[in-house]
Structure 1
Amino acid sequence: MTDVFPQGVVHDAAADLEGAVRADAGVYDLWKALTPLGRNEFICWVDDAKHDATRQRRIERTVEELLEGKKRPCCWSGCIHRTDKAPSRWQQAVLIDGKGRRGA
């Protein structure tokens, strides 16, 4: 029997994130204890990285934040891909419409 990796509501963790979480049994237990929405936020945050180096830092930070007892990524505005709730005004303006970004 295989141990199915718990995913998010909208997003599924890629192999690199799953590998980092599974690498430490304690971290994996913390991951499993998160709600699907909490896991979704971490996965979306990692997937949102535009560069491989940023993605790797976010994976490392995910492990650190889980060990710190965090249930969501620090300083993340939230997943804009969920269909069960509308994006906040800030998410709509900054993340979706691109307004308010420097140089945008």
Structure 2
Amino acid sequence: MEDFEVKTGNPKSRFEAKLLRPAKPDGDACWAFVILPGAASDTLPRRGRTSIDGTINGAPFRAMLEPDGNLGHWLRIDAAMMAAAGAEFGDVAVFEVAPVDEEPEPEVPDDLRDALAASHEARVVWEDTTTLARVDWIHWIVSAKQAATRRKRVDEACDKLASGQRRVCCFDPSGHYSKAFKPPKAAG
């Protein structure tokens, strides 16, 4: 079931999806995920990380969608969201999602915050960039698979910002061209 309507200028997508349990839940085992149908992702303003307002079985939430590497998105559903929706793993839930009117400021990871505090020039450019540029810088840093790569990216980000570069270069936030991003594998 899918249908679309426009409210407050943003397209709203309605669909049903099964709440999947991740095979490797990375610490907290009490979260589920869904992969958005292509038609729902197509209504969103970008293929990379993007914030949405939505409902699951009528229960409201705000969340950041992750790119799935196929020009679509997936949604992590925490235990509180599942409880509010009265949903459990394996249930088919009804979703309504729409892009937020204005992207909220991203939470800056501690390592990047510390590095920006140590570099006045980088911090000035950081504070003068757009919210979406900051989302992409953070995504580039936190998507590193190894701690050494992450440290290197934090250093590079500060160097690039200090030199006046406002956007992360050569980073595909959708993962489509590099195939760097994908949703979790579902438990069997």
Q: TM-score, normalised by structure 2?
A: 0.38
Distance 2:124 2:109 in 1: 18
Structure 1 residue runs without a partner (length 5+): 1-7, 81-89, 99-104
Q: Percent identity?
A: 26
Question: What amino acid is the match of 1:27?
Answer: A
**What is the CA deviation profile of residues 52-72 of structure 1, one whole-angstrom value per residue up to 9, with x for unaligned ones?**
100000000001111222121
SS in 2 for 1:91: coil
CA contact 1:13–1:43 (8 Å) conserved in 2: yes
2:116 aligned partner: 21
Instruction: Find the structure with the greater CA-based Rg.
Output: 2
CA contact 2:144–2:150 (8 Å) conserved in 1: yes
Distance 1:23 1:76 in 2: 24
Structure 2 residue runs without a partner (length 5+): 1-102, 184-188
**What is the CA deviation profile of residues 19-58 of structure 1, one whole-angstrom value per residue up to 9, with x for unaligned ones?**
0011122221111001001111110000000111000000
* Aligned with residue 167 of structure 2, among 72, 75, 80: 72
Q: TM-score, normalised by structure 1?
A: 0.66
**What is the CA deviation profile of residues 6-26 of structure 1, one whole-angstrom value per residue up to 9, with x for unaligned ones?**
xx8474221110000111222
2:132 aligned partner: 37
1:94 aligned partner: 179
More helix by share: 1
Superposition RMSD in Å: 2.5
More strand by share: 2
How many residues get paired?
Answer: 81
